[in-house]
Chain A
Amino acid sequence: MATFHLNINGSEKTVDVDPSTPLLWVLREELKLTGTKYGCGISACGACTVHVAGIATRSCVVPVDLIGDRPIVTIEAIGKDPVGRAVQNAWIEKDVVQCGYCQSGQIMSAVALLKDTKKPTDKNIEESMGGNLCRCATYVRIREAIKRASQQLG
């Protein structure tokens, strides 16, 4: 066990965990931030995506001891960000979700895309969202919602 001071959603959290624990489980079990989901544990589905220093990161494969002092933002706080808020609104407007389990990760990836590329093409969307699985296959509306958010952000 070791103590880590994590900068999460703008505030410092202290956790005492096995250093090999992936960030995902620290968020879910220690900090009760269960919006970030476990889907595969091998970074193949993207349900666990959070932002670490602004980079969309698969929290299921990153042990907490590799995080350092980089700030972490999760789905619970992405709405405070204007791009995050726009993406969430577009998701609701386009009625994207079905079971909803993957959508935290989809939204976190979409926000990372839009922060990088304001006017994403279909190809940009396919590439950047390419690793986020949705078993309900809400992909058509994910495309529409990303374009809608981009439009809203101007």
Chain B
Amino acid sequence: MQPALKGENDLSLNRRSFLQVTTAAAGGLLVSLYLPRITSAQQPPAPKVYPPDAFIHIATDGKINITVNRLEFGQGVQTSLPMVLADELDADWSQVTAELAPAADVYKDPLFGMQMVGGSGSIAHSFQQYRELGAKTRAMLVAAAADRWQVAANQCRTENSVVYGPNNRSARYAELANDAARKLVPDKVALKNASEFRLIGKPVKRLDSPAKCDGSQKFGLDLDLPGMKIAVVAHPPVFGARVKTVDDREARALAGVRDVFEMPLEKGTGVAVVADRFWTAKRARDLLKIDWDLTGLERPDTAELRAKYKQLATTTGNVAATRGDEKALDRIPQPNRIVAEYEFPYLAHAPMEPLNATVNFQGDKAEAWVPSQFQTMDQVIIAQALGLKPDQVTFHTEFAGGGFGRRATTDSHVPKEAAVIAKRFRDTPIKLIWTREDDVRGGYYRPMHAHRIEIGLGPDGMPSAWRHVIVGQSLLAGTPFAMMIKNGVDETAVEGTADTSYNIPNFHVSVHHPTVNVPVLWWRSVGHTHNAFVMETLIDELATRARVDPIAYRKKLLKADAKKLHSVLDLLDQKSAWRKNLAAGRAVGISSHESFETAVACAVEVSIENKRPKIHRATVAVNCGLAVNPLSVESQFQGGLGFGVLQLMAQGAITLKDGRVEQRNFDGYTPAYIIDAPSAVDVHIVPSTEAPTGCGEPPVPVISPAVVNALSILTGKRYRTLPLVSV
């Protein structure tokens, strides 16, 4: 059926029907029913109020398009959030499509108050929001049907995009959408019981799979706009360096080079090259002869930093956690004490799709296309760079080829570079590309860390005193989030240690945050990357020393109220019977960790091949509350483990010498290839009806401690320095 012709009244009705949902921090949330309109010459098109149709479009052909308020960069949210909405809507899943939302207030994370992907919050924070959107829309469709049939709403039921009423009457959502749009949005609506879910909790395949298998999925880097130019920037060899002189004659002489100019950067200055094609721009950049001014710049050196951090770790820092008696440790006799020192390198995120941003400056407005984890932040900073207001910048969220935190910068330095360049090229879309070399050498790394731990064991072999010093740059210092630093402690550096669920009576954690001329950033699972490694290797060492099964030891040491961790250790114990029966030359390593409110335990089977750990299998137990899409949870855990293996790679480190990053590409900074990742991963989910919690980051911390715990069994050595250069 064709929808009725809509007039002015309809529009006002339509606007009134926007759904207002108030949540704690987010301000208003809007839902609207979008109906394709038949416009005529007499009827001027309605002014586009941005965003006019925020989350759901029901088209006349029955297609239901759901707008996702997140970046899709692998975590599967472009499928999972539509599942949640479609379930409550009782939509025909085969007719559901999804798109990524542009930057707008309405799409801000309900808890964080900005539009973003981070903190493993995509599902955790939008689950309730999307359920309500679906349920309210369904209620409006039912109300429309009930009106049409002159029956009570509670006489109607819905299934697969159809409303069924008494006397075998039925109407498709597409037929009802127009009428439904005139209904007032209900304030409250009943949500389904878990037993009524048709999609939530079921394994559902990704919506974006076909397009990602035939090359048709467009990522930010694939953008092609009429008249578009390509920009690359020569970045300083030392962070913050400035261009003293540049000889650009050879660069300018290349056919297709449109401009070469010095530009301000977030730190220091650089030289931008704009050309018709990437290869021309890159070649021209290679031909630049730049003399850099390094005056007054700290030139960090990894060897020096290691020595400095090691020294700092012997002194008490700012207190992050304290309980019990600080002197208890000193009273424990030496034979029952352990001192352990750990080192962790800088790590680049190195998402597969190199960083990029496209900006078209049009004087009084602009348009931006960015694969961004921080859309509204990037929008504001692009606007500032162009001298515009944020709402003058139309910001498109582009699919991203990974991110892992790298596309969530508080200074939006990549989109900002694109904006600065675009400002010189009015009405010309500028696609800024960071080459892989720019990415590997460009900073914004997981910070380098040192840990020093002194442990005193009680007569029962359990730790009774624990003194822990962590050294590492603060992620938050100098950012808009700096106010989250409390008493000199950046929680992102101590998470996973200071808040451990292990019950250690005398427990003291402190932290030093040195300042180093290397930009740092959250890296998938943030502080848990190093803290879980330290905690889980030490606990394992204590279990070995006590000759207690590593799962049993952990359970004994865990607080009773650490229910999620207990549940995953129990499930792991059940599912890893194979660990009792290993082939010669193989060992099993255990670890467990809770992060982002999701608990994980894993067992890995490891041997040593070609002087490297070979991970034959991993069994993982997860408690993430209600698993919205178990297939996606399984994917995140299978992949997240492999991602975490980077910490163990021989070349899994960014190092600096005389201020310069020593690696340049994947030949020097090498993430896990197929041979390095676990060959098989079986994932077991603790059944739960609790609120869903994150699954993007929690897989990452557990793998590296589990693997080295297995290696320790094989070699008798303890591994406390990463990367794992030799076994």
A59 within 8 A of B: no
**In the bound complex, CA of A92 to CA of B278 (Å):** 32
B residues 271-316 with Cβ under 8 Å of A?
277-280, 283
Q: Mark B673-687, 1 if CB is under 8 A from A, else 0.
A: 111011111000000
The verdict on A95 contacting B631 (CB below 8 Å), with A126-B674, A135-B643 known, is yes
**In the bound complex, CA of A21 to CA of B640 (Å):** 36
Q: Which residues of A contact B492 (CB under 8 A)?
A: none
A18 within 8 A of B: yes
B550 within 8 A of A: no
Q: Mark A23-42, 1 if CB is under 8 A from B, else 0.
A: 00100110011111111111
The verdict on A37 contacting B667 (CB below 8 Å), with A99-B401, A101-B219, A126-B674 known, is no
A137→B631 contact, CB < 8 A: no
A residues 76-133 with Cβ under 8 Å of B?
76, 78-79, 88, 91-92, 95-104, 107, 122, 125-126, 129-133
B residues 90-140 with Cβ under 8 Å of A?
none
The verdict on A100 contacting B76 (CB below 8 Å), with A29-B277, A131-B673, A135-B352 known, is no
A134 within 8 A of B: yes
The verdict on A45 contacting B277 (CB below 8 Å), with A37-B353, A38-B221, A76-B214 known, is no
**In the bound complex, CA of A15 to CA of B9 (Å):** 55
**In the bound complex, CA of A132 to CA of B673 (Å):** 7
The verdict on A97 contacting B278 (CB below 8 Å), with A37-B401, A45-B666, A141-B635 known, is no
A58 within 8 A of B: no
B390 within 8 A of A: no
The verdict on A42 contacting B667 (CB below 8 Å), with A97-B208, A100-B401 known, is yes
**In the bound complex, CA of A17 to CA of B677 (Å):** 40
**In the bound complex, CA of A108 to CA of B216 (Å):** 15
B617 to A: closest C-beta gap in Å:
10
Interface residue SS majority, chain B: loop
| Among B209, B279, B354, contact of A97 (Cβ-Cβ < 8 Å) | B209
A4 within 8 A of B: no
- Chain A interface size band reads 35 or more
B85 within 8 A of A: no
B279→A88 contact, CB < 8 A: no
The verdict on A99 contacting B402 (CB below 8 Å), with A76-B215, A91-B209, A133-B671 known, is yes
Q: How many chain-B residues does the 8 Å CB contact rule pick out?
A: 64
A32→B224 contact, CB < 8 A: yes
A89 to B: closest C-beta gap in Å:
9
A20 to B: closest C-beta gap in Å:
8
B659 within 8 A of A: no
**In the bound complex, CA of A153 to CA of B680 (Å):** 23
B366 within 8 A of A: no
A136 within 8 A of B: yes
A117 to B: closest C-beta gap in Å:
16
A143 within 8 A of B: yes
B673→A130 contact, CB < 8 A: yes
B279→A39 contact, CB < 8 A: no
The verdict on A136 contacting B402 (CB below 8 Å), with A45-B352, A95-B209 known, is yes
B residues 403-450 with Cβ under 8 Å of A?
403-404, 435-437
| Among A35, A92, A99, A140, contact of B73 (Cβ-Cβ < 8 Å) | A99
Identify the closest chain A residue to B211 (Cβ). Answer: A100
A6 to B: closest C-beta gap in Å:
16
The verdict on A36 contacting B352 (CB below 8 Å), with A42-B667, A44-B667 known, is no
A41→B435 contact, CB < 8 A: yes
A88→B213 contact, CB < 8 A: yes
B352→A39 contact, CB < 8 A: yes
Q: Which residues of B contact A133 (CB under 8 A)?
A: 352, 666, 671, 673
Beyond contacts A98-B635, A131-B673: 11 other A-B pairs, Cβ-Cβ < 8 A, are A1-B255, A25-B277, A40-B666, A41-B436, A99-B353, A134-B642, A138-B642, A140-B642, A141-B635, A143-B674, A143-B680
Q: A residues touching B (Cβ–Cβ < 8 Å)?
A: 1, 17-18, 20-22, 25, 28-29, 32-42, 44-45, 47, 74-76, 78-79, 88, 91-92, 95-104, 107, 122, 125-126, 129-143
Which 5 pairs, one residue from A and one from B, show the smallest C-beta to C-beta distance? A35-B215, A137-B642, A101-B401, A100-B212, A99-B74
